[in-house]
Homo-oligomer: A and B are copies of this chain.
């Protein structure tokens, strides 16, 4: 349950898939290797983006590498994902995206046609968000030394003046709001990867959330403690991460958490918990409860927030547990996975 149960065995241990899963092992890796080596407070704050002062306005900068497999899936592709994902990390910091970089690591033998499709998808996603991909790089490695194409995007955006968002700002009594149904991205990629014959009609929720966040900030800016998009590791990882950062617990209600019936059915069939499955167009906001009703109303007025719901509350808990009241009236602890449920999901 707790992040800091075991020190990393730096001398003898090895990377395994769990270190890229966005859960505990990823946090462990960052704390034991990257934070000490890079040694600065902005990084150590543990947010998905760094927010720093610039002469006239605050800028946010965020980066992500994308290694999703397969590269094309219902509802998106690695290109749209790479642009929207980084835009979302900026948006979660209260920023509107401005400039993006894109760097490609491509396996020898990768078809131009696929690369063009991906690049066009990136350009379209950037334009739709009013952002520009202004610089980039391409590296090629030998056949068998990468898997098709990996993309790293970095974004810089302007942070709204009226917000102060950070992972350690949740406090007991705060309301937990989720912008919409869980699990669509992860399930869509899984179905595409395995060529499953079911789940028709399920598409990734891959989308840019900066307009939704702008409308949220307009309504309730100073009352929003933090926002985060539940990507790798799903809602479970996101809440557990915030619990650690803010030193709180969560109490959420399964009945309030939106999951589309088709997604729920596939998850049941595959043995997946929607709480652990990645999303690429959803956000969690932790807000002052006084502001919650107006905020949810504003979110529901936006196409990407129409299923927004209050799903729980921040509580005091020295164990930093995420507790969930189940639909059947029981109670369970929602842990983040210690291993990797769905590798290469983004």
Point out residues on A near B: beta carbons under 8 Å: 8-21, 26, 29-30, 33-34, 36-40, 42-43, 47-50, 52, 54-57, 59, 61-67, 99, 101-113, 115-116, 119-120, 122-123, 126-127, 132-142, 144-147, 150, 152, 154, 156, 340, 343-344
CB-CB under 8 A from A17, the residues of chain B are 108, 140, 142
Bound Cα distance A145, B150 (Å):
10
Q: Is the CB of A20 within 8 A of B123?
A: no
Contact in complex: A103, B38 (CB < 8 Å):
no
Q: Are B103 and A152 in contact (CB under 8 A)?
A: yes
Taken together as a complex, chains A and B put the C-alpha atoms of A40 and B139 apart, in Å, by 22
Q: Is A103 a contact partner of B40 (Cβ separation < 8 A)?
A: no
| Given A15-B109, A154-B63: A52 and B99 interface contact (C-beta under 8 Å) | yes
| Bound CA span A123–B46, Å | 17
Residue of B nearest to A8 (CB): B112
Q: Which of B63, B133, B136 contacts A135 (CB 8 A)?
A: B63
A149 to B60, CA, bound (A): 26
- For A116, the chain B residues whose CB sits under 8 A away are 10, 33, 37
CB distance from A209 to the nearest CB of B (A): 18
Which single member of B99, B110, B156 contacts A14 (CB below 8 Å)?
Answer: B110
A34 contacts which chain B residues (CB < 8 A)?
Answer: 102, 119, 136, 138
The 4 closest A-B pairs by CB, nearest first: A20-B140, A55-B56, A50-B134, A154-B154
B134 and A65 contacting across the interface, CB-CB below 8 Å: no
Asked whether A142 lies within 8 Å of B38 as measured between CB atoms, the reply is: no
Expressed in whole angstroms, the minimum distance between the Cβ of A47 and any Cβ of chain B is 8
Apart from A38-B136, A52-B99, A67-B105, 19 more pairs, CB < 8 Å: A9-B112, A13-B111, A14-B109, A14-B110, A15-B109, A16-B108, A21-B140, A42-B132, A50-B134, A54-B54, A55-B57, A59-B156, A63-B137, A140-B340, A141-B150, A141-B343, A141-B344, A144-B144, A145-B147
Give complex CA distance A106, B16 in Å.
9
Q: Are B20 and A106 in contact (CB under 8 A)?
A: yes
Inter-chain contacts of A133 with B (CB < 8 A): 38, 40, 43
CB pair B123–A10 under 8 Å, yes or no, is no
Q: Please, could you name 14 A-B residue pairs with CB atoms under 8 Å apart, sorted by A?
A: A11-B113, A17-B108, A18-B140, A34-B119, A34-B138, A39-B123, A40-B132, A43-B133, A43-B136, A50-B99, A61-B154, A63-B152, A64-B103, A142-B344
